Structure 1
Amino acid sequence: MPIARIPLLACAFCLIAHCAVAAAPIKIAALYNTTGGMSSIDAPGLRGAQLAAKHVNAQGGVGGRMIEIVAIDTKTDLQAAAQGAIAALAQGVVAGIGYGDTSFVLAAAPRFMEKGVPFITSGATHPDLPKRLGPTFFMVPFGDDDQAHAIADYAREALGVKRVAVWTDASMDFTTALARYFEERFTGKGGEVVLADTFRAGDRDFSALVERLHKADPKPGAVFVAAVPDEAGVIVKQIRQAGLTLPILSGDGFDTELVTEVPGPELAHGVYFATHTFRGDARPKVQAFLADYRAEYGVAPESAFAALGYDAVMLVADASRRAGKGDTQTLRQALRGTRHFEGVTGRIDYSRTSGVPKKAVSIIGVQNGAYKVEEVWRPGN
């Protein structure tokens, strides 16, 4: 080989190596419970996230780099959530997203915090999460205080409810916080809690609670149920089978097809829950998401958690473009500086000192198995 050709070949190899590095994918961990009791909200979240990655990559990626979703099913098991975080970090992810429940975020996110890698929850709504986890943690959804205030206001003002019973899953951070915020708002609006009862995740027999609800004196005008999806449909079914017709109120834990599938359409009636805005939204971004999700998966988005998963990946992609670099520190700074990001589920910014996005809340009514947007509630400062 002539000596003169060696520098040229060396340059060529350097260029090839540089291109290979530049084209390295942006790896995003997606930790979801796609099996087990939380699967009805987490599986749609993962599907939304994967759809977002497909859309970003179809547009050339982020600065020529494709997004790669590192999906891990943690099987509705808290220990598996912690192990899943460790496994994802070992694969060199620059960010993590996932989960529709606070307990699982608290199991997994600290592993990311230890490494300085941002974690963005797509669906966990406890408003204290940013304070508990620190500046590398971000929320796509609203907080439990906002959604509890929304459904409490709707109960008092739209439904005219004066007295309520409150059922709380006492085993989870999300449900206990949701019930507390609801009670504070409802009583602050002049309402009265006449019965407080508890159960635990995994319970299937609610007959004792139903009996106490039936015998309550004074009679409640509605029952607020702080529950996760695995119990939601069973509770609706057993309340209605007992002949009780009072409104059933809840938060986004009821944003699951189980609310209608388990009791059936005849019993899935008079149910109202607060959830993330996108149903009935005429914005082109929302309509495009609905059409693309159906085209990709053959069904309409099962719940708002599909849209939240989509928004989580799009938020990371947007921050990556603004960061201009692939390191986690720059990405964290870009995420923290997010203002006016328009997602499918509404605008996201982190200008609040709480770190919780200020977002609208939809009140969904279920009548004879059909879902309808009853009201859109907007928070104050």
Structure 2
Amino acid sequence: MVKRLIAVLTFSVFILSIFTMSFAASSSKTIKIGVDLELSQAVAQYGQKELEGLKLAIDEINQKGGIGGKKIDLVIVDNKSDKTEALNVATKLAVREKVLAILGPATSGATKSAASAAMKYKVPIISPSATDDAVTVDERTGKTKAYVFRTCFNDSFQGNVMANFALKTLKAKNAAVVYEASSDYSKGLYKNFKSTFTKGGGKIIAEEAFSKGEQDFSSILTKIRDKKPDVIFAPVYYDEAGLIIKQARELGMNMPILGGDGFDDPKVVEKAGKKFANNVFFSAHYSSQDTDVKVQEFIKKFKAKYKTEPNAFAALGYDLGYFIADALKRANLKFDSIEKDRDRLRSALENTRNFVGVTGIVNINKYHNAEKSAVIIELKDGIQKFKQKLNP
């Protein structure tokens, strides 16, 4: 009798818990979204700016009533610019915090690491700036990672853009490449630049790798100088970019220096010095000199909130906020099961078409990549100048 009573009570508690969980999910006034960004250490400038843009967007969305009357609640965790920590953060957000989706990380290596947790726990993860081709596609099988997305262009496109710019606009016939040996971002851009540049008739006459944390590039730059390249392509992040520019110019190397979106930060000019920050070109996600009304409205709102002008990473963060909101509205969420709602959201993300953001119109393709345009920025005395826009 006692056993039967215990069994009945246990079953009743189980049913009640299911009801309570279901009721709590459906009656909650918020939608929990995780944020896994580089907010400290090596590449904090990217994550911090993306978070500023993201917060601005989410504040606007919540002020307008949120999603179906529910406010978006950001659960923000710093991955400390570390791949392992990015995975730990993603796991925590998916399992302990039970977020509906994860936004970030900012960099390719960290995103690929965090993506393994997204796939394991079947929670959508969306990076605003991870450009390595392998972020959304399994390198072993060639299959698209079902729960992994990005809202930026990828390295195949970015490397192609810079190679064609070197060939067609700068009329370069040979190039030297300086890249970080342990960086997925750096190696991915280098690979795609080399492929397009050589197919277009150009020649890579020097390829110099360096280790993470390197500060003195004079030795490898001297080797490059002796080979007299028409251009130098340096697919690196802002600290290394500024130092490479400065040290190259001090060695009398005045040829164009090209880079990717990692150059899009004020620290590049701080490290290089304004007098050396000339004849520098890089691909970017947007330009503050774009006269589009949407761009100018964003800049006005960002400056009003943060008292500074937004760079491309702030714009990417802002777009990410509205991108996830757009998918949430179309996902037909039931709030009956976190697993089911995550899958509903995944399906909505896959079907994103003609999303209009500050950084361009986004269409998500079968590889979960964003098909969108890129811009070329030129540095003149340390000041960014819009050079040209290129479409996919």
TM norm. shorter chain > 0.5: yes
Match of 2:284 in 1: 275
Match of 2:235 in 1: 226
Moved more, 335-344 or 128-137: 128-137
Number of residues of Structure 1 aligned to a counterpart in Structure 2? 360
2:373 touches 2:389 (CA, 8 Å); kept in 1? yes
Match of 1:3 in 2: none
Alpha carbons of 1:20 and 1:86: their partners in 2 closer, same or farther (altered >3 Å)? closer
Match of 2:194 in 1: 183
Identity over the aligned pairs, expressed in percent?
Answer: 34
1:270 touches 1:366 (CA, 8 Å); kept in 2? yes
1:45 touches 1:307 (CA, 8 Å); kept in 2? yes
SS at match of 1:349: strand
SS at match of 2:371: coil
Structure 2 CA distance for aligned equivalents of residues 94 and 310 of structure 1: 19
Match of 1:241 in 2: 250
Q: Aligned ranges for residues 1-381 of structure 1 at < 5 Å? A: 21-89=26-94, 90-132=96-138, 134-216=145-227, 219-301=228-310, 303-325=311-333, 326=335, 327-350=341-364, 352-379=365-392
Structure 1 CA distance for aligned equivalents of residues 24 and 137 of structure 2: 40
SS at match of 1:141: coil
1:122 touches 1:139 (CA, 8 Å); kept in 2? yes
Q: 1:18 offset after TM fit, Å?
A: 6.4
1:49 touches 1:311 (CA, 8 Å); kept in 2? yes
Match of 2:8 in 1: none
Using the size of structure 2 for normalisation, the TM-score is 0.88
Using the size of structure 1 for normalisation, the TM-score is 0.91
SS at match of 2:272: coil
1:183 touches 1:193 (CA, 8 Å); kept in 2? yes
Structure 1 CA distance for aligned equivalents of residues 129 and 37 of structure 2: 10
Alpha carbons of 1:73 and 1:144: their partners in 2 closer, same or farther (altered >3 Å)? same
Q: 1:24 offset after TM fit, Å?
A: 2.6
Alignment-mate amino acid for residue 311 of structure 1: D
Alpha carbons of 1:372 and 1:62: their partners in 2 closer, same or farther (altered >3 Å)? same
SS at match of 1:128: helix
Q: 1:23 offset after TM fit, Å?
A: 4.1
Structure 2 CA distance for aligned equivalents of residues 253 and 266 of structure 1: 20
SS at match of 1:205: coil
Structure 1 CA distance for aligned equivalents of residues 290 and 134 of structure 2: 29
1:278 touches 1:344 (CA, 8 Å); kept in 2? no
Alignment-mate amino acid for residue 99 of structure 1: P
SS at match of 1:362: strand
Q: 1:337 offset after TM fit, Å?
A: 0.9
Q: 1:354 offset after TM fit, Å?
A: 2.8
Structure 2 CA distance for aligned equivalents of residues 240 and 100 of structure 1: 30
- In structure 1, list runs of 5 or more residues that go unmatched: 1-13
Q: 1:230 offset after TM fit, Å?
A: 2.9
2:375 touches 2:386 (CA, 8 Å); kept in 1? yes
1:168 touches 1:198 (CA, 8 Å); kept in 2? yes
Structure 1 CA distance for aligned equivalents of residues 381 and 275 of structure 2: 5
SS at match of 1:260: helix
- CA RMSD of superposed structures (Å): 1.7
Alignment-mate amino acid for residue 348 of structure 2: A
Alignment-mate amino acid for residue 106 of structure 2: G
Report Cα offsets for 1:191-210 as digits up to 9, x if no partner.
11111111122111111111
SS at match of 1:287: helix
SS at match of 1:300: coil
Q: 1:138 offset after TM fit, Å?
A: 0.8
Q: 1:57 offset after TM fit, Å?
A: 0.4
1:22 touches 1:65 (CA, 8 Å); kept in 2? no
Q: 1:127 offset after TM fit, Å?
A: 2.0
1:98 touches 1:309 (CA, 8 Å); kept in 2? no
Structure 2 CA distance for aligned equivalents of residues 20 and 377 of structure 1: 45
Structure 1 CA distance for aligned equivalents of residues 166 and 37 of structure 2: 32
